[in-house]
Amino acid sequence: MKTLAFIPARGGSVRLPRKNIKEFCGQPIISYPIRYLKELGITPIVSTEDGEIAEVARKYGAEVDDRPAHLADDRTTTTEVLLDYIQRNWIEPEYCLMLHATAVFATPKLLNEAFELIKQGNGVFPMVQYGYPPQRSVHIDDGLVKIVDYEAYHHNTQDFEPRYHDVGQFYLLKTDALLKERVLFLSKSIPLIVKESESQDVDSPEDWKMAELKYEIMMGSEGKERK
């Protein structure tokens, strides 16, 4: 099984400056997905245009690809970066595993689950259930609260079908399907349900603190030893 493990990590981050190498529980956050992959026997490729990120990535055992400057702005998608790397290097591994640099919860155990699931489809899509039914959402219109769906709003919460959202940790893809469809959400994507306690967006200082708390709880004494 040949797998390309790819971590896009550009230097710019609007909401949390230097997020991809910011200290998380005592070490740069990008070191966590690198370590998880190394534990699985996979050497990841870190794609970056940033010299400091490249240095940190190499320190923890990753290889580094110098990302072209035109693919390092806010408008470039991770899909574009991944496809560019594959096409520039003329490679076609069986699988592409794309991890975010902040994927501290994408443990070897979870990644192994994904490798088992991909046998059933073209890709694995990690997701987490909404904590509250989005069918009962409200919004603000001209300063006033408006109900999106009045009929749904008056139903009991247990009546609604569960809804999920992207965890934002990783995507495991069959390369041939990726090259054909050119998206991370492939047809025949198999769901991998992740616990809410083991997922967290990290787009604000408050998010970051919450992620550290969740990580320490998840890892227990092992997490403390790794600080």
DSSP string, 132-176: S-GGG-EEEETTEEEES-HHHHTS-GGGSPP-EEE-SSEEEEEHH
CA nearest neighbour of 119 among 16, 207, 212, 1: 1
pLDDT of 223 reads: 45
Cross-strand partners of 129: 164
Question: Of all residues in the chain, what percent carry a pLDDT higher than 90?
Answer: 81
pLDDT of 103 reads: 97
CATH number listed for the domain at residues 3-127+166-225 = 3.90.550.10
Give the tens place of pLDDT for each residue, 4-46.
Answer: 999 999 998 778 889 999 999 999 999 999 999 999 999 999 9
Domain boundaries defined on the chain: 3-127+166-225
pLDDT at 226 over 60: no
Average pLDDT on 162-182 reads 96
Give the tens place of pLDDT for each residue, 75-101.
Answer: 899 999 999 999 999 888 999 999 999
Average pLDDT on 55-60 reads 98
**Is 159 or 19 the better-scoring residue by pLDDT?**
19
Give the tens place of pLDDT for each residue, 101-143.
Answer: 999 999 999 999 999 999 999 999 999 999 889 998 999 999 9
Q: Do 118 and 124 touch, CB atoms closer than 8 A?
A: yes
Look over the chain and give the mean of its residue pLDDT values, rounded to a whole number.
93
Q: How confident is the model at residue 221 (pLDDT cuts 50, 70, 90)?
A: very low
Q: How confident is the model at residue 1 (pLDDT cuts 50, 70, 90)?
A: low
- Strand pairing category for 170-174 and 95-99: antiparallel
Separation CA 42–CA 34 (nearest Å): 9
| pTM confidence score | 0.90
pLDDT at 150 over 90: no
